[in-house]
Amino acid sequence: MTFDPSYKEQGLKSVGTRPLRPDGVDKVTGRARYGADFNMPGQLVGRVLRSPHAHARIVRIDTSQAEALKGVKAVVTAADLPDQSNGDAATFAVLDNCMARKKAMYDGHAVAAVAAIDASVAKAALKLIVVEYEVLPHVVDVDVAMAADAPVLDETVFTTGVEPAPKTPSNVANRSEFGHGDVEAGFAKADMIVERNYKTEQTHQGYIEPHACVANCNSDGTADLWVCTQGPFVYRQVCADLLGLDVSKLRVTSSEIGGGFGGKTHVWAEPVALALSRKAGRPVKLVMTREEVFRASGPTSATSIDVKIGAKKDGTITAAEATLRYTSGPYAGMWAELGAMTSFACYDLENVKTVGWEVVVNRPKVAAYRAPSAPMAAFAIESAVDELAHKIGMDAVDFRIKNAASDGSKSSYGPVYGPIGIGPTLEAAKSHPHMSAPLGENQGRGMACGFWFNFGGQTCVDLNIGADGTVTIAVGTVDVGGSRASLSLITAEELGIPYENVKAIVADTSSLGYNDMTDGSRGTFSSSMAAISAARNAIQVMRERAATMWDISVDDIIWEDGHAKAVGATHDNLAPLSVADIAAEAGNTGGPIAGHSELVADGAGVSFGTHICDVEVDPETGSTRVVRYTVIQDAGKAVHPDYVEGQYQGGAVQGIGWALNEEYVYGADGRLQNPGFLDYRIPVCSDLPMIDTQILEIPNPNHPYGVRGVGETSIVPPLAAVANAVSNAVDVRMFHIPVSPPRILAALNAQAKG
Amino acid sequence: MTSIAVSTTINGDDVEFLCNADETLLDVLRNRLGLMGAKEGCGTGDCGACSTIMDGRVVCSCLVLGAETQGREIETIEGMSEGQDLHPLQAKFIEHAALQCGICTPGFLMAAKALLAAHPDPSEEEIRFWLAGNLCRCTGYDKIVRAVQGAAAEMRGAKT
């Protein structure tokens, strides 16, 4: 049956309600099983040896003493994970990051691993591995790495995207450019121009659950991986590629996931665990320590961004330009490109140009973190926009409203927008009581906007109707924050049955067709699309069964309110059949009833938000407290409003941490100085006020219920909203995130000196 | 390594176990006793995901040695509900959507239980400071604070 995903306004019974989540009891009783909560018979403990150097040639590794230690069952190095990338640079980069080959590229880079009978033997074995390093000059700062005299990390990196192609290698992997119009002509028309450089520091997703897996390679060539991941199907493919396994012989089961935020979309130690298991012939459990999580997994880019924006006195922006330099760790990604795409997405601009520079440095490989690359760009752009509004004497919200993109605007990154939420979120901010509330001494208010694309992608759902008429849906998108509830709600709505009659489970890779990861705010958007399609297929089957039961034509049967109903004068006296009625007779009408769907969920609606933040700054210490915070964001349709609010609040607080406090601190030796939650301080309960939320619903025309992704946009505005609030509180512009006490004090001292 | 024999009380039951001198209470709970509700988020007492209650006080079980629990009374998340009846805090956490990924939830529940034992009618500030040793990266804490407020009100109501 052809699936029509277009939005139709309709009365809703389940979607938009707030029922209890199906996995709640497991999670409040300690019964939910996460990555480290699974064991297998005969399981070994895996541990990884990591480079203490930021950049070093690996001259020699001697594992003989470790192998000889009693209780050690396997030791692996790069030699046990041979390069099978066939020249594919991206695959090679993943492999090299999992286990260093010729060089250690950052402090914490894996160089060897052991599997032993217990943790203390494994730990002792690591100390017996001899690694001879030739320490090389390193570079961690993005601007320094781009300089002509910087140590070059990789002799095979020649900048792409520039003409003519460079003849010498450098740390600049890629140049990307977006925009339209003529920015020079636009700046010539401006009455006022703001031109600034902004910097942001590297942060970590900070999920509370460290990476954890249990790997088991069997002697018959089959393998199993239990792992906390946002994408079991992607992990299966990547692990199989790296280890030379047949994809169909590797079964990946995703555990409950203790936070990911993008950091669990990339493989880290999982291929190493599989290699250890293959060599030892026994299951291997490998759990990272918190220090390993910080040193060797998932940080964001650190950035340096130049922004130039010009406007007329009436507030019309005439031109906008940004140059964005993003670190990517030792391997190129598309982080600067994403920053360049998102920079000016909130605005309707005649002349706009953004250039992204992807820069390799001796830091851990950058991973996605919630709307990856957008928060840093938004910090720079929204700071400059704020300053420009101030300079031309316009209210910061009015200035943004005047320039906001709307239906039909050509976006700064190319596409023309449909119905979007930036204007409505700004209007809502303007009229929000928060905006006019009085401020106290040393307090300031800031606001900022944010954008994220959202993603759809490959999706597959199985829907089975039980003999009692209850329904199970098997989905392939990992539930990171309540999607089993939202998908059950949508399935219930589509079938016309109660929420309690639907159970959603996350299937493993051998039980369901391929699904893309839970990323790009796609979990509820894409899996609900497939669930709706599967439900419609099941309804078709149930109509046919009803036709058999009644012995009438299927064309005379409609589906309404969870029942098959006969229509037409001759059938009026037939009582409607419920799902349970039809399911009870399934054995006599053709067997079990199911619906299936596989599709590419196109048309993920873009997402916009506007945040308002009040801070209080202690002028003596530079310490800053957020005293009030409001998130306004377009959800398209909030399927389960509690968990939409939760996404808004959680993203905002991650952004607040990034804005005020979180940063990777490197020593002169290139070693990470703060790889722990004590020194890398994420926001705690006592740091924060309640986080107010306002959900706007501007339907996505490409989803039957108007759903847009909601997970990521909330982390985009806070960096700028907080920095603008601090700037307004102390009357000094802040250009470097985090605006930690030392940076605020330095800015205040510089101002005092004039 | 010579194991140490320990007799203790966990969730009201007498428990005996052997552990090594360097094993933490968290190691013992998870690896020897099969009580995996306490989670290891850091192993250094910074995240609170392994919070348990020892003799009425919240502790990070990663900072307590297994051998130290000799003769003590330990409460873990596995003992929080009475059979099928959830503790009001557990019920309110679900009702208020105070969990997303849920990895921090057992630790928060133990810390909140100790809070309400000491302060049946806590202010928002008291809640925020009592729970400041438990990290949550998903929720921004808003709904957690509201869930604790809800449970406190219900528990006070039940007593009067």
Contact call for B81 and A37, based on CB within 8 A:
no
Contact call for B86 and A290, based on CB within 8 A:
no
Residue A344 is predicted with a pLDDT of 98
- A22 to chain B, closest Cα gap in Å: 10
Which residue among B40, B42, B76 sits closest to A677, beta carbon to beta carbon? B42
Asked if B95 and B68 sit in the same domain, the reply is: no
CA dist A344 and A92 (Å) reads 34
CA dist A18 and A12 (Å) reads 13
Residues of B in contact with A685 (CB under 8 A): 127-129, 131-132, 134, 136, 141, 144-145
Asked if B107 and B139 sit in the same domain, the reply is: yes
Asked if B11 and B50 sit in the same domain, the reply is: yes
Q: Which residue in B36, B103, B130 has the most chain A C-beta atoms within 10 A of its own C-beta, making it the best mutation to test that interface?
A: B103
Which residue among A20, A30, A682 sits closest to B106, beta carbon to beta carbon? A30
CA dist A599 and A533 (Å) reads 9
A488 within 8 A of A677, measured Cβ to Cβ: no
Asked if A328 and A350 sit in the same domain, the reply is: yes
- B116 to chain A, closest Cα gap in Å: 16
Q: Is residue A181 part of a domain?
A: no
Calculate mean pLDDT across residues A17-42: 98
Residue of B nearest to A292 (CA): B42
pLDDT tier for residue A411 given thresholds of 50, 70 and 90: very high
| Domain CATH for B135 | 1.10.150.120
Asked if A655 and A719 sit in the same domain, the reply is: yes
- B28 to chain A, closest Cα gap in Å: 13
Which residue among A210, A642, A686 sits closest to B128, beta carbon to beta carbon? A686
Sequence-ordered list of residues with C-beta below 8 angstroms from that of A53, at least 6 positions apart, any chain:
A104, A107, A133, A135, A138, A670
User: Looking at the predicted structure, is the pLDDT value of residue A521 above 60?
Assistant: yes
Asked if A486 and A339 sit in the same domain, the reply is: no
Which residue among A28, A206, A650 sits closest to B94, beta carbon to beta carbon? A28
Q: What is the pLDDT of residues B73-108, one digit of tens each?
A: 999 999 999 999 999 999 999 999 999 999 999 999
Q: Is residue A634 part of a domain?
A: yes
Contact call for B20 and A120, based on CB within 8 A:
yes
Per residue, the 3-state secondary structure of chain B, as one string, reads: CCCEEEEEEECCEEEEEEECCCCEHHHHHHHHCCCCCCCCCCCCCCCCCCEEEECCEEEECCCCEHHHHCCCEEECHHHCCECCECCHHHHHHHHCCCCCCCCCHHHHHHHHHHHHHHCCCCCHHHHHHHCCCCCCCCCCCHHHHHHHHHHHHHHHHHHC
Contact call for A691 and B47, based on CB within 8 A:
no
Residue of B nearest to A206 (CA): B137
Q: Is residue A176 part of a domain?
A: no
B111 within 8 A of B130, measured Cβ to Cβ: yes
CA dist A288 and A204 (Å) reads 15
Asked if A566 and A643 sit in the same domain, the reply is: no
Residues of A in contact with B145 (CB under 8 A): 685, 690
SS3 A322: strand
Nearest Cα residue to A461 out of A483, A438, A444: A483
Q: Which amino acid is at A260?
A: G
Q: Is residue A421 part of a domain?
A: yes
Asked if B96 and B51 sit in the same domain, the reply is: no
Strands (E), A522-606: 557-560, 563-566, 577-578, 593-601
Residue A571 is predicted with a pLDDT of 81
pLDDT tier for residue A441 given thresholds of 50, 70 and 90: very high
Question: What is the domain count for chain A?
Answer: 3
In total, the C-beta contacts within 8 angstroms joining chain A to chain B are 182
Asked if B101 and B36 sit in the same domain, the reply is: no
- B159 to chain A, closest Cα gap in Å: 23
- A677 to chain B, closest Cα gap in Å: 6
Which residue among B37, B97, B131 sits closest to A646, beta carbon to beta carbon? B97
Q: What are phi and psi of A541, to 5 degrees?
A: -65, -45
Residues of A in contact with B135 (CB under 8 A): 206, 208, 677, 682, 684
Contact call for B78 and A29, based on CB within 8 A:
yes
| Domain CATH for B15 | 3.10.20.30
Q: Which residue in A21, A27, A214, A677 has the most chain B C-beta atoms within 10 A of its own C-beta, making it the best mutation to test that interface?
A: A27
Asked if B71 and B100 sit in the same domain, the reply is: no
Calculate mean pLDDT across residues A171-175: 98
**Which residues constitute the domain of residue B44?**
4-79
- B113 to chain A, closest Cα gap in Å: 13
Using the structure block, give the residue that is written with the tokens 């400071």. B129
User: Looking at the predicted structure, is the pLDDT value of residue B2 above 90?
Assistant: no
**Which residues constitute the domain of residue A335?**
303-454+605-752
Q: Is residue A147 part of a domain?
A: no
Residues of B in contact with A120 (CB under 8 A): 1, 20, 22
Contact call for B138 and A210, based on CB within 8 A:
no
Contact call for B39 and A649, based on CB within 8 A:
no
pLDDT tier for residue A569 given thresholds of 50, 70 and 90: confident
Q: Which residue in B80, B137, B149 has the most chain A C-beta atoms within 10 A of its own C-beta, making it the best mutation to test that interface?
A: B137
Which residue among B36, B47, B105 sits closest to A28, beta carbon to beta carbon? B105
Query: Is B101 in the A-facing interface, judged by CB distances under 8 Å?
Result: yes
Structure tokens at A476: 């392939």
Query: Is B94 in the A-facing interface, judged by CB distances under 8 Å?
Result: yes
Asked if B65 and B98 sit in the same domain, the reply is: no
Query: Is B110 in the A-facing interface, judged by CB distances under 8 Å?
Result: no
Using the structure block, give the residue that is written with the tokens 């605005």. A347
| Domain CATH for A560 | 3.30.365.10
Calculate mean pLDDT across residues A527-541: 98
What part of B 23-52 touches A (C-beta under 8 Å)?
A: 30, 35-44, 46-47, 49
Residue of B nearest to A643 (CA): B97
Residue A1 is predicted with a pLDDT of 62
Q: Are strands A284-287 and A44-50 parallel, antiparallel or unpaired?
A: parallel
Residue of B nearest to A641 (CA): B97
SS3 A312: coil
Residue A703 is predicted with a pLDDT of 97
Calculate mean pLDDT across residues A41-69: 98
Which residue among A482, A678, A691 sits closest to B100, beta carbon to beta carbon? A482
Residue B160 is predicted with a pLDDT of 57
Residue A573 is predicted with a pLDDT of 83
User: Looking at the predicted structure, is the pLDDT value of residue A568 above 90?
Assistant: no
B92 within 8 A of B147, measured Cβ to Cβ: yes
Asked if A291 and A314 sit in the same domain, the reply is: no
Residue A100 is predicted with a pLDDT of 98
Select from A248, A273, A296 the last residue of a domain. Answer: A296
A719-747 burial, b for 16+ CB within 10 Å, e for fewer?
bbbbbbbbbbbbebbbbbbbbbbebbbeb
Query: Is B132 in the A-facing interface, judged by CB distances under 8 Å?
Result: yes
- A162 to chain B, closest Cα gap in Å: 40
Calculate mean pLDDT across residues A446-466: 97
Q: What are phi and psi of A647, to 5 degrees?
A: -65, -40
Query: Is B131 in the A-facing interface, judged by CB distances under 8 Å?
Result: yes
Asked if B74 and B92 sit in the same domain, the reply is: no
Asked if A639 and A725 sit in the same domain, the reply is: yes
Calculate mean pLDDT across residues A103-107: 98
Select from B52, B79, B106 the last residue of a domain. Answer: B79
Asked if A308 and A274 sit in the same domain, the reply is: no
Calculate mean pLDDT across residues A297-309: 97
- CA angle (A255 as vertex; A254, A258 as ends), nearest 5: 120
Asked if A465 and A449 sit in the same domain, the reply is: no
Using the structure block, give the residue that is written with the tokens 């064309």. A555
Asked if A412 and A466 sit in the same domain, the reply is: no
Asked if A432 and A520 sit in the same domain, the reply is: no
Asked if B60 and B96 sit in the same domain, the reply is: no
Asked if B60 and B123 sit in the same domain, the reply is: no
Taking all residues of chain A, what is their mean pLDDT, rounded to a whole number? 97
Residue A358 is predicted with a pLDDT of 98
Which residue among A208, A652, A687 sits closest to B103, beta carbon to beta carbon? A208
Contact call for B93 and A28, based on CB within 8 A:
yes
CA dist B61 and A627 (Å) reads 33
Q: Are strands B4-10 and B13-19 parallel, antiparallel or unpaired?
A: antiparallel
Residues of B in contact with A688 (CB under 8 A): 128, 140-142
Q: Which residue in A370, A684, A691, A714 has the most chain B C-beta atoms within 10 A of its own C-beta, making it the best mutation to test that interface?
A: A684
- B140 to chain A, closest Cα gap in Å: 4
Residues of B in contact with A481 (CB under 8 A): 100-101, 138
Asked if B93 and B116 sit in the same domain, the reply is: yes
A743 within 8 A of A638, measured Cβ to Cβ: no
Asked if B122 and B58 sit in the same domain, the reply is: no
Contact call for B93 and A18, based on CB within 8 A:
no
Which residue among B35, B94, B132 sits closest to A21, beta carbon to beta carbon? B94
Q: What DSSP string describes A598-638?
A: EEEE--PPPEEEEEEEEEEE-TTT--EEEEEEEEEEE-SS-
Query: Is B105 in the A-facing interface, judged by CB distances under 8 Å?
Result: yes
Report percent pLDDT > 90 for chain A: 98
Using the structure block, give the residue that is written with the tokens 């049967």. A557
Q: Is residue A163 part of a domain?
A: no
Question: What is the domain count for chain B?
Answer: 2
Residue B1 is predicted with a pLDDT of 61
Contact call for B97 and A645, based on CB within 8 A:
yes
Asked if A438 and A571 sit in the same domain, the reply is: no
User: Looking at the predicted structure, is the pLDDT value of residue B56 above 60?
Assistant: yes
Query: Is B108 in the A-facing interface, judged by CB distances under 8 Å?
Result: no
pLDDT tier for residue A570 given thresholds of 50, 70 and 90: confident
Select from B79, B102, B118 the last residue of a domain. Answer: B79
Residues of A in contact with B147 (CB under 8 A): none
Q: What is the pLDDT of residues A177-223, one digit of tens each?
A: 999 999 999 999 999 999 999 999 999 999 999 999 999 999 999 99
